[in-house]
Amino acid sequence: MANTEPADPHVIFRQYLDAVGLHALAGAEAAGLQATEWYALSVITLAGRITSGDLATRTGLTTGATTRLIDRLERAGYVRRAADPPDRRRVMVEASADTFPEIEDVVAPARRRIAEVLDRYTPEQRELLFDYFTQAAPAYRAATDEIRAATTRHRKPGRKTGSARPVDP
């Protein structure tokens, strides 16, 4: 007998978020990067140019860890450091032109499949979906900031930042 109960929206949304997260992990692995490096590279490419301090803020890493991350990405040929024309003392990080074809190859399957999904919707429905994405991205960033702030305040001595107690799924 077919299940006539409507699907639980909470479960559907969690499955969606899990799939997006899993895709990000697979993309990082395919590019030979750690998840934080993959995310940082995304931040850098979307920003065009970014200071290491701004990158540290966006990734939640310390400035020292961010410097090492940039060093790794630079050695791998994904980014380069460049002087900021208005303030030559300030160093900007930008993606190397060679980065894009390799990253595009990694994300091509998702882009193709998501394009197929989006093609099922009317232009008006797609507009609504993209409005949601526009509103949800800053909401998730704000929630991330809240989690990081709470983690810092409630961290127990000897416990690593970001380690959490197991939670029932």
Count up the domains in the chain and report the number: 1
Instruction: Kindly give, in sequence order, each residue whose CB lies less than 8 Å from that of residue 21, ignoring residues fewer than 6 positions away.
Output: none
Question: Domain range for residue 57?
Answer: 21-148
Give the whole-angstrom CA distance, residue 40 versus residue 42.
Answer: 5
pTM here is 0.78
Please report whether residue 7 resides in a domain: no
Give the whole-angstrom CA distance, residue 61 versus residue 55.
Answer: 8
Instruction: Say which CATH number the domain at 58 has.
Output: 1.10.10.10
Give the whole-angstrom CA distance, residue 23 versus residue 107.
Answer: 9
Phi first, then psi, for residue 89 (nearest 5°) are -75, -20
Please report whether residue 10 resides in a domain: no
| pLDDT tens-digit series, residues 55-90 | 999 999 999 999 999 999 999 999 999 998 888 888
Please report whether residue 84 resides in a domain: yes
